[in-house]
């Protein structure tokens, strides 16, 4: 409540008291209901209304006073130290992060100092943050996958970012916010609109596709539907079964590393399905679209057009043991190395997952970065660093070291030289528009395992009735895991 409105309110109470006093004995004032919104004025004014009523002339002295036009974040971040835990302590990514941090420390106008502390891999980081929540020895900023960030927020460790985003001085403009790919931004948002993380960059589950071999098989374009995908995969499998090399029999179509939840999710998005209800608070595993995916994948496997490997299938894809491979855009350098090792000059690239009605989709992994709640000044300093690190120009610099994909449309303008030098990387950029994200609920990590187990069982199912039963069981399991996490 502003001071002007408070003054008016108190004056009205005073008039009411005088009128009431003329009609009946004075009564003890009752306590006001607690305010439901955070207020900028000291809470003592509302907690002790009788003191304000005892000295009405002091309240009435400034009836026309207007609140000053200040940013909502009226705190001073000057001189703050921001401890930034991360997972990029090796290779060119470590080199790039060191440079970006040093440049920020030397140039930011508030004298904020970022201390970057490597925590190992993502699993190590999550373990470290979980332990720090218990001890209270937390950093100021940490990255994390969406379900990890939301878990830490539920534990009371992470700050809400909405006030930072909307602040007129330190926040994002409407255009800046609109430039972030919706799937990436939504992965850091709760069902009620609370933003708990911002995307640093993204990778995506995509299909690697051998253009040269496809053309030799008689296909002039990548598959645009699930039916076309099966036709091409099965043609490649038939070619390997029919050649003079017995070692490649049973290969040639689609190859994947096991049956992962991320792969299932990508197909589900292309089949126009969702993992959550419209409210975003309940898993939807036993749907018409999920069953269609299950039947499609089982048919692909039963037809001999899909096989799995225990390790990353880079060598198989590089040696024409697969026309398609499911991989991450972050795996592009490793796949390129596999082609070099195989002395294979085939042209290959990245394509989206095609659905039965022509919808195209990729499973976007928008790794997030969040502010650990350490108090107003520390939080603002942390946000300033977060905003800098995720800004388009700095994100582009980061990508040249890390090979991730941008999480916003405005980054690509700064990547001209990098794109020219990395044509395979460039093919992935065009797929960002098809990105959809997995759920960010804390229970998602456990449910991923249940999806993988279910689809392994589906591939061995005897008939459609067995598939129906497995999906019904998955729905129940997901509901139970969700309830346990709440």
For residues 400 and 97, the answer to whether their CB atoms sit within 8 Å is no
CATH number of the domain enclosing 216? 3.40.190.10
For residues 110 and 384, the answer to whether their CB atoms sit within 8 Å is yes
- Judged on CB neighbours under 10 Å (0-12, 13-18, 19+), 67 is exposed
- Could you list the residue range(s) of the whole structural domain that residue 33 is in? 3-60
Are 176 and 48 members of one domain?
no
Q: In what order do the strands lie in the sheet with 141-144?
A: 113-118, 81-86, 141-144, 368-371, 198-199
Q: Quick count: other Cβ atoms within 10 Å of Cβ 410?
A: 17
The pLDDT value given to residue 196:
98
Q: Apex CA 384: angle with CA 96 and CA 94, to 5°? A: 15
Kindly report, residue by residue over 87-120, the tens digit of the pLDDT: 999 989 999 999 999 999 999 999 999 999 999 9
In this prediction the pTM is: 0.75
Are 243 and 308 members of one domain?
yes
Kindly report, residue by residue over 212-222, the tens digit of the pLDDT: 999 999 999 99
Is the pLDDT at 6 greater than 50, yes or no? no
Read off the tokens for 437: 């994200």
Nearest alpha carbon to residue 406 among 114, 203, 183 = 203
Kindly report, residue by residue over 152-189, the tens digit of the pLDDT: 999 999 999 999 999 999 999 999 999 999 888 999 99
- Report the Cα 381 to chain-centroid distance in Å: 22
For residue 73, being part of any structural domain is answered with: no
For residue 74, being part of any structural domain is answered with: no
Are 308 and 183 members of one domain?
no
Mean pLDDT of the chain, nearest integer: 86
Q: Which helix (H) or strand (E) holds 86?
A: strand 81-86
Comparing 299 with 27, the larger pLDDT belongs to 299
Are 41 and 141 members of one domain?
no
- Band (433; pLDDT cuts 50, 70, 90): confident
The pLDDT value given to residue 55:
34
Nearest alpha carbon to residue 285 among 300, 270, 264 = 264
Range of lowest pLDDT (213-227, 294-308, 428-442, 464-478): 428-442
Q: Apex CA 229: angle with CA 207 and CA 310, to 5°? A: 50
Are 145 and 45 members of one domain?
no
The pLDDT value given to residue 72:
57
Are 325 and 223 members of one domain?
yes
Distance between CA 299 and CA 147 in Å, rounded?
32
The pLDDT value given to residue 469:
98
Kindly report, residue by residue over 10-23, the tens digit of the pLDDT: 333 333 333 333 33
The percentage of the chain sitting over the pLDDT mark of 90, rounded to a whole number, equals: 75
The pLDDT value given to residue 454:
98
- Band (73; pLDDT cuts 50, 70, 90): low
Comparing 66 with 334, the larger pLDDT belongs to 334
Distance between CA 174 and CA 177 in Å, rounded?
5
Are 353 and 218 members of one domain?
yes
The pLDDT value given to residue 445:
87
């Amino acid at each position: 409540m502003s001071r002007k409105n408070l003054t008016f309110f108190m004056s009205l109470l005073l008039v009411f008291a005088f009128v009431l006093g003329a009609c009946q004995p004075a009564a003890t004032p009752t306590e006001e209901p607690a305010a439901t919104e955070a207020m900028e004025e000291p809470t003592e004014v509302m907690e002790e209304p009788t003191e304000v009523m005892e000295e009405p002339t002091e309240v009435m002295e400034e009836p026309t006073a207007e609140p000053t036009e200040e940013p909502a974040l009226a705190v001073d971040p000057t001189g703050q130290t921001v401890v930034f835990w991360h997972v990029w302590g090796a290779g060119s990514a470590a080199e790039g992060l060191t440079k970006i941090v040093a440049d920020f420390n030397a140039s930011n106008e508030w004298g904020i100092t970022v201390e970057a502390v490597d925590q190992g891999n993502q699993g190590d980081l999550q373990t470290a943050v979980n332990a720090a929540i218990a001890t209270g020895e937390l950093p100021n900023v940490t990255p994390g996958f969406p379900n990890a960030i939301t878990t830490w927020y539920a534990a009371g460790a992470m700050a809400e970012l909405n006030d930072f985003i909307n602040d007129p001085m330190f926040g994002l403009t409407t255009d800046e916010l609109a430039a972030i790919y919706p799937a990436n931004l939504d992965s850091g948002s709760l069902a009620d609109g609370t933003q708990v993380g911002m995307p640093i960059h993204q990778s995506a589950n995509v299909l690697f596709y051998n253009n040269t071999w496809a053309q030799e098989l008689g296909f002039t374009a990548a598959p645009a539907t699930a039916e076309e995908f099966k036709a091409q995969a099965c043609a490649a499998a038939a070619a390997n079964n029919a050649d003079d090399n017995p070692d490649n029999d049973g290969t040639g179509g689609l190859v994947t590393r096991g049956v992962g939840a991320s792969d299932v999710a990508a197909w589900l998005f292309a089949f126009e399905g969702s993992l959550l209800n419209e409210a975003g608070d309940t898993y939807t595993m036993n749907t018409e679209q999920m069953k269609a995916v299950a039947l499609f994948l089982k048919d692909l496997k039963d037809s001999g057009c899909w096989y799995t490997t225990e390790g990353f299938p880079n060598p198989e894809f590089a040696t024409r043991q697969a026309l398609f491979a499911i991989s991450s855009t972050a795996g592009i350098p490793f796949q390129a190395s596999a082609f070099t090792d195989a002395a294979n000059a085939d042209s290959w690239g990245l394509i989206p997952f095609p659905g039965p009605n022509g919808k195209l989709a990729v499973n976007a992994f928008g790794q997030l970065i969040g502010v650990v709640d350490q108090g107003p000044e520390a939080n603002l300093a942390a946000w300033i660093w977060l905003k800098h690190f995720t800004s388009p120009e700095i994100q582009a610099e980061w990508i040249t070291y890390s090979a991730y994909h941008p999480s916003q449309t405005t980054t690509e303008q700064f990547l001209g030289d990098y794109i020219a030098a990395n044509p395979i990387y460039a093919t992935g950029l065009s797929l960002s528009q098809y990105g959809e994200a997995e759920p960010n609920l804390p229970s998602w990590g456990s449910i991923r395992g249940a999806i993988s187990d279910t689809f392994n069982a589906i591939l061995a199912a005897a008939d459609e009735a067995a598939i129906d039963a497995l999906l019904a069981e998955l729905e129940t399991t997901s509901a139970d895991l969700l309830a346990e996490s709440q």
